[in-house]
Amino acid sequence: MYTVKIANDNDIPRLIEFFRGVYSPSHILTEKKYLDWQYKNAAANIYYPEYPNLLLKKNDQIVGHLGLIPYKFKIKKEIVNAAFLASLIVDKNLRSHGAGVMLVREAEKYFDLLYTTGFNPNSVPVLKYCGWKEELWINRWVYNVGGKRVINNNEALEIKKFNESWNESWKTLKLKREGTIDRNSDYLNWRFVDNPYIRYKIYGLKNNKGYVILRIEKGDEYSACRIVDLISEEANARALFLSAINYAIESKVDFIDFFSFPVIYEKSLRGAGFNIYDPAENPDPPIFLLPINRERLALNFSYKQIKGEDLRASDWLVVKSDGDRDRAY
């Protein structure tokens, strides 16, 4: 007898055992602290105190899992319940038999919008069968740090926490974005400031009208400064990119990258010296640094909208910190 249920505290020990078997004994999802932060304590967890995770059970045994990171999401003028599909895995004996479809269909009952990035090609038939929008590809902007000097930039300062004044700025900034996570201070503090695994560097514009969030990743072959989120008016974005460049130079990394969809801040990015990266021409550096992964050259993106005014692909704002593509390993 197969059933799908929402995970609660009692399921977690067995869920961790399941992850040890299907992923690896040391996979990040085997840490309860991580599960609690990413799912249970997520700023927009509509199931709290349960986990926004769906379990496929055969009798009492867990045979499949769908991890959903919940967001308040802005679609045009309304805020809806959305979720990022962070992981989908089923027991190897059930693969290619529709178990993933069963889990995704169940998630569609609870959320108004579902989306995912950087997903495994094995998930494509599942998403396609469930009627998700075809794969789209997120641009990767790259800046080569080698030999560059710190640039004078006094428009942005380091910030430690997002406060109420940010919420005021966001009310105006979000008007220009049709499809985006509602980046209020609750979300930003949960996602970046209170992250138990990663120390982000955050710079905010002095006028409070934008921020950039940076993470250093040091691999064996390369080290990178990753712009995992950036919000501002186009006119102010250049100062934030300069903050990223200066931080990258001080941190002695090889390059900076910024994944964004669609093409936004193009003028500022080009003005600051970034270029769109073409993985077909040169697969280095790999998109996943830790662990190094040379097989996946670009970041894909797919979604299904269940409620709200229709979003076109160009209405979206998607960056690397959406979901779990910017996670600890």
Partner 1 sequence: MEKIKKIAQKVFKVSEGEVTDAMSPETIPDWDSMNYLIFISELEKEFGVQFSISETMEAKNLGDIKNYLRNKGVKF
For the CB of residue 90, give the shortest distance to partner 1 in the complex, in Å: 9
**Toward partner 1, which CB reaches closer, 76 or 97?**
97
Which DSSP state fits 193?
I
- Regarding 128 and contact with partner 1 (CB under 8 A), the answer is yes
**Vertex 300: Cα angle to 294 and 304 (nearest 5):** 155
- Regarding 22 and contact with partner 1 (CB under 8 A), the answer is no
Binding-residue total with partner 1 (CB under 8 A): 16
- Regarding 133 and contact with partner 1 (CB under 8 A), the answer is no
Q: DSSP 3-state assignment of 265?
A: coil
**Toward partner 1, which CB reaches closer, 2 or 329?**
2
279 to 140, 245, 297, 320: CA distances (angstroms): 9, 22, 6, 17
- Regarding 97 and contact with partner 1 (CB under 8 A), the answer is yes
- Regarding 129 and contact with partner 1 (CB under 8 A), the answer is yes
Q: Note the helical H segments in the chain.
A: 12-22, 32-35, 99-110, 124-129, 164-173, 185-188, 234-250, 266-272
CA 131 to chain centroid, in Å, comes to 22
Cβ–Cβ < 8 Å for 162, 193:
yes
**Toward partner 1, which CB reaches closer, 20 or 128?**
128
Q: Which of 24, 33, 120, 125 binds partner 1 (CB under 8 A)?
A: 125
DSSP code per residue over 18-39: HHHHHS-TT-GGG-HHHHIIII
Q: Which of 95, 133, 177, 327 binds partner 1 (CB under 8 A)?
A: 95
Segment near partner 1 (CB under 8 A), from 35-43, 76-84, 125-133, 271-279?
125-133
**Toward partner 1, which CB reaches closer, 104 or 289?**
104
Residues at the site binding partner 1, with contacts judged by CB under 8 A:
1-2, 94-102, 122, 125-126, 128-129
